[in-house]
A and B are shown apart, each in its own frame.
Chain A
Amino acid sequence: MLKKNLFRGFSIIILLILIVVVGRQTNGYYNKPIITDEPYKTKGLSDAPIELLVFSDYACPFCSKLETLLDEILAAFPKQIKIQFKHFPLRSHPKAFVAAEAAECAADQNQFWNYHELLFSNQTEWTDSTELRNILLTYASKLKMNESEFGTCLDSGRKKEIVLNNKKEGEKLFINSTPTLILNRHKVLMLKKKEAIETQIQKELERIKV
């Protein structure tokens, strides 16, 4: 009887494993990276052992606060951390989507991070304004970017796809609020105090033995 049960149990397990193996092959995305790397939206050393992946919305006040916090954390761990930014404009913030497109247009002129900082530091100005396009153009001129090129890019809507893809990546990870901070792509960090985030970073450094 024991032999019969062992055989039965073993057969069920083998069958189940086979189904998973076939499922992984046919599913297609098992071996694909969940998040695409976008080097132009990465701050810090490219070979830093720790990545903080940030899903953020330019119109969200907490995202703006986190931005300052992240700069402090990056300053505290200059060789160990890199920050990768992903757009996640919420439906409730339609202007944030346009702002994200604008930041992507700025990236064409190698000004992504400068433009990104301007969007966050002047958040209330452009979110309250009815002249969004003009303000976004003003920021481009502040950074001495080619304004007409920037304007054409913004009007063409050709950066929509990048913003939407970033958002899709976040949705795949069940993200639906901002900011969401992910440590080395396997741990969502609770946005508590700076010290708490730093402790998690220290633990991750110990885990990967750096």
Chain B
Amino acid sequence: MNIKRWIKIGLTLARFAIGTIFIYSGYSKLIAPSQFFELTISRFDIVPYSLIGITALMVPWIEYIVGAFLFTGFLTRKSAFVLLILTGSYYFILAQALIRRLPIYECGCFGGNIRLTLQQSFIIDSLILFLLFQIFTSAKLSYYSESTSPQAK
């Protein structure tokens, strides 16, 4: 088996793993009252007060739907791009919380089901960002069912 094939398998597995993470992250927030996520957002003390409600409403749906798109290989590059932006923004928010030493002990990334510290979340996010970037830039090297991406042809 040549190296290209291994990369293909690796990227496809990464797509499944990241898709699953985002589906679960979005779903766990969506089945809980949005107040939970509003409180989580407000703890990071960076999103303007007037935008907390709308952010708490939108982000879980984006995570959930785009995560499912990535998992199923539908609009893969576009999905990877959206999730890159989302994860990149969260990465910045996490970093500022760590630098400012805000009293946040759990990231609240997965509702109340999986509890991660900011440091753990930062490490996992670094890995997710790296893999998303690989998926985004190496579309033609992965097993995709996508038909709209020019690179998949």
- Closest partner residue, chain B, to A12 (CB atom): B68
Q: A12-B69, A13-B65 are in contact. Are A186 and B52 (CB under 8 A)?
A: yes
Which residues 40-77 of B sit at the A interface, judged by CB distance below 8 A? Answer: 40, 42-43, 45, 49-50, 52-53, 64-65, 68-69, 72, 74-75
What 1/0 flags go to B102-124 for Cβ under 8 Å of A?
11011010001001000000000
Interface magnitude class on chain B: 20 to 34
Complex interface: chain A residues within 8 A of B32 (CB): 27, 29-30
Q: Does B27 contact A (CB under 8 A)?
A: yes
Number of interface residues of A (CB under 8 A): 31
Q: Does B3 contact A (CB under 8 A)?
A: no
Question: Measured between C-beta atoms, what is the minimum distance from B51 to chain A in Å?
Answer: 11
Instruction: Determine if A8 and B74 form an interchain contact, defined as CB atoms under 8 angstroms apart.
Output: yes
Docked pose: A190 CA to B43 CA in angstroms? 8
Q: Does A144 contact B (CB under 8 A)?
A: no
Question: Measured between C-beta atoms, what is the minimum distance from A204 to chain B in Å?
Answer: 8
- Closest partner residue, chain B, to A173 (CB atom): B39
Docked pose: A186 CA to B47 CA in angstroms? 13
Docked pose: A9 CA to B115 CA in angstroms? 32
Instruction: Determine if A30 and B31 form an interchain contact, defined as CB atoms under 8 angstroms apart.
Output: yes
Docked pose: A34 CA to B64 CA in angstroms? 23
Q: Does A48 contact B (CB under 8 A)?
A: no
Q: Does A19 contact B (CB under 8 A)?
A: yes
Complex interface: chain A residues within 8 A of B30 (CB): 20, 23-24
Instruction: Determine if B49 and A200 form an interchain contact, defined as CB atoms under 8 angstroms apart.
Output: yes
- Closest partner residue, chain A, to B23 (CB atom): A16
Question: Measured between C-beta atoms, what is the minimum distance from A84 to chain B in Å?
Answer: 15
Q: Does B96 contact A (CB under 8 A)?
A: no
What 1/0 flags go to A69-80 for Cβ under 8 Å of B?
000000000000
Which residues 170-189 of A sit at the B interface, judged by CB distance below 8 A? Answer: 172-174, 176-177, 182, 185-188
Q: Does B126 contact A (CB under 8 A)?
A: no
Question: Measured between C-beta atoms, what is the minimum distance from B82 to chain A in Å?
Answer: 13
What 1/0 flags go to A126-167 for Cβ under 8 Å of B?
000000000000000000000000000000000000000000
Instruction: Determine if B106 and A174 form an interchain contact, defined as CB atoms under 8 angstroms apart.
Output: yes
Instruction: Determine if A1 and B147 form an interchain contact, defined as CB atoms under 8 angstroms apart.
Output: yes
7 contacting pairs across A/B (C-beta < 8 A): A5-B147, A8-B74, A27-B31, A27-B32, A177-B105, A186-B39, A203-B49
Binding site for A on B (CB under 8 A): 27, 30-33, 35-36, 38-40, 42-43, 45, 49-50, 52-53, 64-65, 68-69, 72, 74-75, 102-103, 105-106, 108, 112, 115, 147-148
A8-B74, A34-B33, A176-B105 known; 17 new pairs, CB 8 Å cut-off, are A4-B147, A5-B74, A9-B75, A12-B65, A12-B69, A12-B72, A12-B74, A16-B68, A27-B31, A30-B32, A30-B33, A174-B112, A186-B38, A187-B38, A190-B45, A203-B50, A207-B49
